[in-house]
Amino acid sequence: MDLVVAVLFQLIYVIANLALISLGLAIIFGMMRVINLAHGEFLMLGGYTVVVATNMGINIWVSMLILAPLVVGIIGVIVERLLIRWLYGRMVDTLLATWGLSLLLVGIVTSIFGASTATTVSPPLGAVRIGAYSASGYELFLILITIALLVAVWLTLRYTKLGLLARGTMQNAEMASSLGVSTSRIYMITFGLGAAVSGLAGGLLAPMTGVLPTIGATYIAKAFITVISGGASILAGTTVGSILLGGINGIFSFIAGSTFGEIALLLAAIILLRLMPRGITGRFFRKSL
């Protein structure tokens, strides 16, 4: 019984982890159609923000929950103004530009902090007992905050004026513009928010994985696979995609080891996209956000 709970807990954590690293990309790629290959580097910058801030003596919760999204959000806005705004509607060009950006960010961080693993930040919560098993309290916290983040993004998109304008702009920019919406501002804010969510995710994961200038590479493929498998609806898609792929990954990792877990995840994504080329929400939950 304890084992079932412990394994279930671990499974939910794998799913939450996937949703957390994918959500920022879902906003930038799923919603704005910008193929952001620098997504992994946004996560990495969030991680470095936490490491630098805590080393300067700032409380770790403040660094993770406030500073990481703030710093990466600002970087996102700058990137949008300088680079992305010239490229809307040109998907292949965004791919090349953000790939270049990704290499640039890795290069800058490497030359400032060195190429080595730069962290002594530890998970700030102790262990929790599940009967005969123990699990990390910080993992529990990550699960809860991922749920909170999904709810917050849903509320913003569904019930705020900004959310309405953003959805309208993404659906039909010309129409929104002729109705008096400053689409250029909406694009900037949405991109900034997407970057901020990525920064938050990177900051939250830093104590679990440590940070390296090249750590983005371990996230980027999984994030894209999740968002593409999820399909057009960014929130429902990311959630369902994470549950399906994370679930498969977690179960196979437990049965056959993590190598097979990764293989199973990729196989599942290939089969899924063969059967549903427009992702899960291209067929199910079509009306959802």
Q: Give the C-alpha separation, 136 to 17, whole Å.
A: 14
Nearest distance from residue 250's CB to another protein, in Å?
Answer: 6
Determine whether 166 is exposed, middle or buried from the number of CB atoms within 10 Å of its CB (0-12, 13-18, 19+): buried
Nearest distance from residue 155's CB to another protein, in Å?
Answer: 29
Nearest distance from residue 139's CB to another protein, in Å?
Answer: 7
Nearest distance from residue 59's CB to another protein, in Å?
Answer: 17
Contact flag: residue 17 with another protein (CB under 8 A): yes
**Per-residue binder mask for another protein (CB under 8 A), 182-211, x = binder:** -------------------------xxxx-
Nearest distance from residue 209's CB to another protein, in Å?
Answer: 4
Which residues from 206-225 bind another protein, rule CB under 8 A?
Answer: 207-210, 212, 214-215, 217-218
Contact flag: residue 119 with another protein (CB under 8 A): yes
Residue placing its CB nearer to another protein in the complex, 119 or 242: 119
Choices 58-66, 107-115, 157-165, 185-193; region in contact with another protein by CB under 8 A: 107-115
Among 104, 108, 115, 155, binds another protein (CB under 8 A): 115
Among 261, 265, 269, 279, binds another protein (CB under 8 A): 261
Residue placing its CB nearer to another protein in the complex, 57 or 126: 126
Task: List contacts with another protein (CB under 8 A).
Answer: 3, 6-7, 10, 13-14, 17, 110, 114-117, 119-120, 122-123, 125-127, 132-139, 207-210, 212, 214-215, 217-218, 250, 253-254, 257-259, 261-262
